[in-house]
Amino acid sequence: MNILRKIPVTFFVWITILSLVLVVMSPGLNGEFFYDDNPNIVDNVEIHIDTLTIASLKSSIESPAAGPLGRPVSMLSFALTHYFFGLDPFAFKAINLVIHAINGLLVAWFATLLLRTLRGPQLAGQGRTWLPLWVAAIWLIHPINILPVMLSVQRMTLLSGMFMLLALIGHLKGMSKPSGESAKWGWIMASWLVFWPLSILSKETGLLFPLYILTIAIFSRQETAARTQVHSWVIKAAVISLLGIVAAMLSFLGWDWLNGAYAMRPFTWSERLLTETRVLWFYAAQIVIPNYAAFGIYLDDFSLSTGILHPPQTLLAVIGWGGVILGIWRFRHRQPVLYFAAVWFLAGHSLESTLLPLEIAHEYRNYLPSFGLLLGVGYLGAVILQKIQLDYRSLTVGLTAMIPVLVLALFTWIRADQLGNPLVGSQVEATRHPQSARANYSAATALIRSGFGNADDPIGSHSIKYYLQQAGTVDSSFKSGYLGLVVWACASGRPVEKQWIDEFADRLEHTPLSPSDRDIPDNLLKPLLSMPKCLSRSDAIRLFMAGVGNSGANGPLKAKFFGAASDYELLVSIDPRSARDYLARASAVSPGDPGLRLKLKSYESVISASEHHK
């Protein structure tokens, strides 16, 4: 008993918090791989290593890039997970949960250091102790942060966040040391030269480290001339780093990269910027006052802002953020912690929620940005408690702190339970987000994988057909719905309707080919090879050539469509000459592909030998 009395109360609180996180998230660990897990993990053979050798690890790091920098730290993590556990989704998600728990501890540490650094009224001893714990608990348990755990590929977000927090902690620890101490530069060098690069190499959001540092510096106290000098040095270093990042990105990607990338999106850069003003308000509301029904794996049902008044909420969103920015500038000295919270949130979204041609909205983009708003809410509550002089050990304070944790825990547990049951969860997602093409498509594929939709299952067939058609109806550029209809009809022995082929071909030729559409040639070819009577020869070739005819398709993508047509002609139509001709066209549009040239030579050799034999 004497030993237990010597253990800090915070230790037992942490055990309780982490146990609660494990309880509410564990149902989701039984779920399958989904969404971006498939191209980055399931279908990425480079990370499927069976031996721990330099060559295998190097190959995994050089696997198909998930981002401009390849994210080698994350890819290496996936490879090691596969080596020890194979393609077991439980193992991938469980490791993600462990990283998330570690990040929660780092969030509490970071919040403790931050509260000592920021300007504004200092909290009393109890407030300084319990506020970081409460913020970390809310952050760990918040339903907006469950997808980085359950979506296995988002270990990229978790790892980048972990190294980012370590870099920020190292920077604050170093800055708090007196100038004469050697530990000062040890912390700072570890922060800037070790943890920051590791964060970038896990995911490109690590590039935001200097912006976070700049945000902290702007709201930090400067009590002495020496601190003021260091403060000025930090701001200069952060600004120079940010300018260097921008210059490096322009040099690496090129000036025309942005236009080419937007050609693969069904929106322009101006439409994305306008839409993101509404998206950011949506994120902020979901963090501070979450609406359970609005959470979703796929947020592709978020309508585009095509103009400042289309929809009218766009103007209100722009004015709202303008007011926030003006308020931050004018009143930043009155409540610096609260305004820091808003700036942190905006800084955290400055990469993924501004000009870059990414998809419009995803919950996991709030992993670190959510910390700012949660800290602001917690700090405001702590200041109120301090003013009314309530004892932190009172029942009123305990209930006030526990109720939001338990409500969010309930939301997260329900989400985890749905994510752990792909069939039920996908139907719930489609019900809550009927205008989401991906939610509808996911609901249909979950039914098919579960054995529904056969010729003797009219109810399941009706649901599958409805979901797939709905996926195409709500998004005029979504192609996978019609691909799904073709494959499902063939597999279940149903005739493929002509209107499906017509609409599928039209979208392949005339709508933007998004990054996810790059797999359509292979995804269409596979069922045609296994079910050769699925489509007529003319319909199959028509679909492949529709993709080739898309003005937004680059050379390598056109080559994939030509190559798929070549394989179809060789293996289904049994026409080697036609197969050779399509392969020659593939090589012509992608002359830098040595594999196509070798394959074309082998085709020509076989055909020449056959003609000579005749």
**Has residue 352 got a pLDDT over 80?**
yes
Least confident of 49-58, 72-81, 273-282: 49-58
Closest CA to 97 of 167, 153, 47, 155: 155
Across 349-371, average pLDDT? 95
- Quote the pLDDT of residue 250: 74
Residue 612, pLDDT > 80, answer: no
What pLDDT score does 393 carry? 64
What confidence tier does 370 reach under pLDDT thresholds 50, 70, 90? Answer: very high
For 265, phi and psi rounded to 5 degrees?
Answer: -120, 150
Local structure of residue 454 (DSSP, 8 states): -
Check whether 20 has a pLDDT greater than 60.
Answer: yes
Pick from 129-138, 256-265, 274-283, 405-414: least confident: 256-265
Q: What is the mean pLDDT of residues 185-193?
A: 91
- 230, pLDDT greater than 70: no
**3-class DSSP assignment, residue 187:** helix
In this predicted structure, the answer to whether residue 142 has a pLDDT above a threshold of 50 is yes
| Contact assessment for residue 178 and residue 321, using Cβ atoms and an 8 Å cutoff | no
Q: What is the pLDDT of residues 326-348, one digit of tens each?
A: 888 887 777 888 889 999 999 99
- CA-atom Rg of the chain in angstroms: 27
Whether residue 51 has pLDDT greater than 50: yes
How high is the pLDDT of residue 611? 60
Domains of the chain: 88-119+128-417 (no CATH), 437-613 (1.25.40)
613 pLDDT tier (thresholds 50, 70, 90) = low
pLDDT band for 180, please (50, 70, 90 cuts).
Answer: low
Q: Give the residue-averaged pLDDT of 232-241.
A: 80
Nearest to 231 by CA among 245, 241, 244, 221: 221
> Which of the two residues, 329 and 490, has the higher pLDDT score?
490
**What tens digit of pLDDT does each residue of 268-318 get?**
999 999 999 999 999 999 999 999 999 999 999 999 999 999 999 999 999
pLDDT of residue 200: 95
Residue 39 exposed, middle or buried by CB count within 10 Å (0-12, 13-18, 19+): middle
Distances (CA, A) of 224 to 227, 229, 231, 524: 5, 9, 10, 68
How many CB atoms are closer than 10 A to CB 71?
27
Which region among 296-300, 330-334, 356-360, 478-482 has the lowest average model confidence (pLDDT)? 330-334
**H-helix or E-strand containing 136?**
helix 125-141
Distance of CA 1 to the CA centre of its chain: 47
What's the average model confidence in pLDDT over 386-411? 80
From residue 1, alpha-carbon distances to 6, 7, 12, 145 in Å are 9, 10, 14, 38
Give the pLDDT mean for 372-394.
82
The pLDDT assigned to 105 comes to 97
Higher confidence at residue 231 or residue 111?
111
Predicted pLDDT of residue 257: 78
Whole-number Cα distances in Å, 429 to 298, 313, 441, 472? 8, 25, 11, 17
pLDDT band for position 256 (50/70/90)? confident
pLDDT at residue number 1: 46
User: What is the pLDDT at residue 602?
Assistant: 81
pLDDT band at 603; cut points 50, 70, 90: confident
- Banded pLDDT at 223 (limits 50, 70, 90): low
- pLDDT-based confidence at 231, cuts 50/70/90? low
Higher pLDDT, 583 or 614: 583
Dump pLDDT digits (tens) for 514-530. 888 888 999 999 999 99
- Give residue 585's pLDDT: 93
- Mean pLDDT for the chain overall: 89
The answer, as to whether pTM is greater than 0.85, is: yes
Residue with tokens 């670190």: 368
Output the pLDDT for position 604.
Answer: 77
The Cα–Cα gap between 529 and 452 comes to: 23
Q: pLDDT exceeding 90 applies to what percent of the chain?
A: 63
Q: How far apart are CA 257 and CA 58, in angstroms?
A: 28
Dihedral angle computed from the Cα positions of residues 546, 548, 552 and 554, in that order, rounded to the nearest 10 degrees: 160
The region of weakest confidence among 170-184, 335-349, 558-572 is 170-184
pLDDT at 68 over 80: no
Angle (CA) 389-390-396 rounded to 5° is 160
Residue in the block written with tokens 């922060």 = 191
Summarize the confidence of residues 135-143 as an average pLDDT. Answer: 97
- Going by pLDDT thresholds of 50, 70 and 90, the confidence category of residue 534 is confident
Whole-number Å distance between alpha carbons of 336 and 324: 13
Q: Are 332 and 339 in contact (CB under 8 A)?
A: yes
